[in-house]
Amino acid sequence: MRPNINTQGGPLSRLCRALLGLIGWRVAFVPPPGPKAVVIFYPHTSNWDFVIGILARAVVAIPIGFIGKDSLFRPPFGGLFRRLGGIPVNRRERTGFVAQLAALFAQRDSLYLAIAPEGTRAKTDHWKSGFYRVALAAGAPLGLAFIDYPRREIGIEVWLALTGNEAEDLARIRAAYAGRHGRRPQLEGEIRFP
C-alpha cells in the first residue's frame, strides 16, 4: 500500500523549495513504498546538513522524524528539536533502543524515522548497525536519504527491502551512495559494520 502523500505540498513546501533554490539546492525525491520506513541519512559531515534536511523535509511534505544524541534535546533547543520530530538517544550506554524503536513501529500506522548511520559528524571507520536492526525488526523498507554538496542536491531516490544478508545489503547501499559527498568529504564514514 502506498501512503497518501502530497509531494506537491502546500505553501510551506513551496516556500522551502524556493529557499533551497535561492541557495542553489535541489530536492530529488521518490515517494516511499508504504506508510512506514527507516530512513538513513548519509553522508552527515556538517551541522548545515540538518538545516538543509529540515527544509527538504518540508518540501516533500512527509513527517520524517529523526534520532539525535540526547544532549541536543537539552535547553535551550531541546523543545524545538522535539517539535521537529526528534527522538533523543543515549549513545553512551546500551538502553535497548533498537527494541524500543521496533516496538514504536509496531504501535503506529505510519512512521518514517531518519537515522544517521555514522552516529556523528566526526570521522568514523564504520557505520553503526542500529538502523539495520530496526528496519529488519520492523519489517520496514530502508530509505537512502543523501546530501550531495558538490551537486547541491538532497533527497531520497532509493528504497530498499532488506534481505537480512548484511554483506549483500551493504553492497546495495554502497552502490546507491557512490559518488555522493558531504560538505567535508574527509569526515565521511566507511559504509561497513564493525
pLDDT band at 69 (very low <50, low <70, confident <90, very high): confident
pTM, to two decimals: 0.88
Expressed as residue numbers, the domain containing 110 is 24-155+169-180
How many domains does the chain contain in total?
Answer: 1
What is the per-residue pLDDT for 113?
95
Instruction: State the cell numbers at 142.
Output: 530502508
The mean pLDDT of the chain is: 91
Query: How many whole angstroms separate alpha carbon 30 and alpha carbon 136?
Result: 21
Instruction: Render pLDDT for 15-59 as a digit per residue (tens, 0 to 9).
Output: 999 999 999 999 999 999 999 999 999 999 999 999 999 999 999
Query: How many whole angstroms separate alpha carbon 158 and alpha carbon 96?
Result: 28
Instruction: Render pLDDT for 138-171 as a digit per residue (tens, 0 to 9).
Output: 999 999 999 999 999 999 999 999 999 999 999 9
Q: Identify whether 29 is part of a domain.
A: yes
What is the per-residue pLDDT for 156?
97
Q: Identify whether 110 is part of a domain.
A: yes
Q: Identify whether 66 is part of a domain.
A: yes
User: Rounded to an integer, what is the distance from CA 59 to the centroid of its chain?
Assistant: 15
Q: Percent of the chain, pLDDT > 90?
A: 72
What is the per-residue pLDDT for 122?
82
Q: Identify whether 162 is part of a domain.
A: no
Q: Identify whether 14 is part of a domain.
A: no
Largest CA distance in the chain: 44
Q: What angle do CA 160, 163, 50 make, to 5 degrees?
A: 40
Q: Identify whether 186 is part of a domain.
A: no
Q: Identify whether 63 is part of a domain.
A: yes
Q: Identify whether 107 is part of a domain.
A: yes
